[in-house]
Amino acid sequence: MPSSTTSVAKLPGEADMVAPPHRIYNIRGCRVVTLTFFVLFTALLFYVSFADVSIPKLLYLTPKQSSLAEVHGIMFDAGSTGSRIHVFTFVRGKGGQLELSNEFFHEVKPGLSSYADNPKQGSQSIERLLQKSEDIIPKQRWKYTPVALKATAGLRLLPSNSSKQLLEEVRRLFQESPYHFSQESNVDIMDGPDEGLFAWITVNFLLGGLKSDDSKLFGTLDLGGGSTQITLCPVHQETLQEAPVGFRRYLTIAKRKFPLYTHSYLGLGLMAARTAILESGTAGNGVDVKLSPCIHYNFRGSWKFGIHKSIEISGDSRYGYSGCLEDAKKVLAKFQVHKPVGIDSIQMYAFSYYYDRAVDLGLIDLEKGGTITVGQFKEGAEQACSNESKTSPYLCLDSTYIVALLMEGFGFTEERKLTLKKKIDGVEVSWALGATLDLFDKMT
């Protein structure tokens, strides 16, 4: 078990932030609200409306599980660039409540969506990951261990028939496995908003934000391959009052009520944005060759993401941060990214490709992560675009797009701090833990 406090990576001179130990919580899910309750609650929140969302309820063990010293849950993240298995181990606390004690994580590439033309082979890639769980979970507990797979933007971007066939193969695999698989919906494409909400639950669960009314809450920024999410609990009413329709969610956790600002932008994940930026390039000498100011003029190659056709690309004499930034802004403009107001005091946790590219730019430690400003990210992007990187030819493009998303999209200033973490207390920062808590709830 982890120690009682954990120091989060920080910049020199920054105050220590202490994360509580792995925590025990009761989490109650949203219930369908009546019209009367809805009207009363929106009046309390100055007539801000919320959409119903499904979140974890009681995290008590089922009668069969309650006699076990450890309880396990298996969650697959079928992302656009890779498939990941999370095996969570919980122990039974007071009153039968769950306490997270460990996580096993492993990733394989390419992602499940890459097997659109061969669903059986896609299922086999998941099977190889599933076999790793047999070394983690004792055999006598397999039948009590729930297993699920949630696909994200990669499968959302596929034709419906292709994604359906892939999911059917995975369902068949889980049904034939020794693990607990009772609902077909446990293998499905996750809604983008749920992806953001589950990630928010994961981060605040691990940092103790859900423990009591006076606990500090953290916002989350998740940058995947196909989509990106922003989720936070506002401290000012104007954040929700000025949010577009569909950006407001309401949930109840451990009897606490959380009005959330959250949205998922499909098509603005890093790989999807890279594709759009390259496609917007000018025509080169060849009809199918695209010239991009985001690519060094010595580079020539091809790029493919998802179901998009391969793009032949070549560097441009205009190579540099300014030209690349303009192309990134044009892509963002098509999505009309909303700039939330009144969120300056909320500490934001950024992960996934935010973390990876910050490491690539040398801004944070690979293992510990760190806290940086948006301005530092911008300086890193400018530096990346002033040189040629033979090992990372897309680093200029990727880092410039991230700066554009943060500043032009979300409206963050250069002074805005971001905490970049890959793990908190040894647990991978993603939506997987939040989704697993929801999975346990469905078994009760």
Q: What single letter denotes the amino acid at residue 181?
A: F
CA atoms of 61 and 402, how far apart (whole Å): 42
Integer CA distances (angstroms), 387 to 21, 295, 353, 365, 380, in order: 43, 10, 21, 22, 11
350 Cβ contact partners less than 8 Å away, ≥ 6 residues apart:
220, 221, 222, 223, 418, 419, 420
Contact 246, 253 (CB under 8 A): no
CA 22 from centroid of its chain's CA atoms: 21
Q: Which helix (H) or strand (E) holds 442?
A: helix 432-443
Enter the DSSP assignment of 258.
E
From 99, 103, 169, 195, active-site residue: 195
Bridge partners, residue 263, by sequence: 230
Could you tell me how far CA 288 lies from the centroid of its own chain?
A: 34
> Do residues 150 and 78 touch, judged by C-beta distance below 8 A?
yes
124 annotated as belonging to a binding site for a ligand: no
Residue 49's CB is within 10 A of a number of other CB atoms, namely: 14
Q: Is 195 a catalytic residue?
A: yes
Q: Which residues pair with 86 in a beta bridge?
A: 75, 105
CA dihedral 275, 276, 279, 280 (to 10 degrees): -150
Per the DSSP assignment, residues forming a β-bridge with 264 are: 229
The shares of helix, strand and coil residues in the chain, as percent rounded to the nearest 5, are 35, 25, 40
Q: Is 229 annotated as a binding residue?
A: yes
Based on DSSP, count helices (H) and strands (E) in the chain, helices before strands.
12, 20
The structure tokens listed for 273 are 């944005």
Beta bridge partners of 252: 257
Strand partners, 189: 151
> SS3 letters for 299-320?
CEEEECCCCCCCEEEEECCCCC
Please give the DSSP secondary-structure letter assigned to residue 181.
-
Query: Is residue 225 part of an annotated ligand binding site?
Result: yes
Catalytic residue IDs: 195
Annotated binding site for ATP: 225-229
Annotated binding site: 225-229
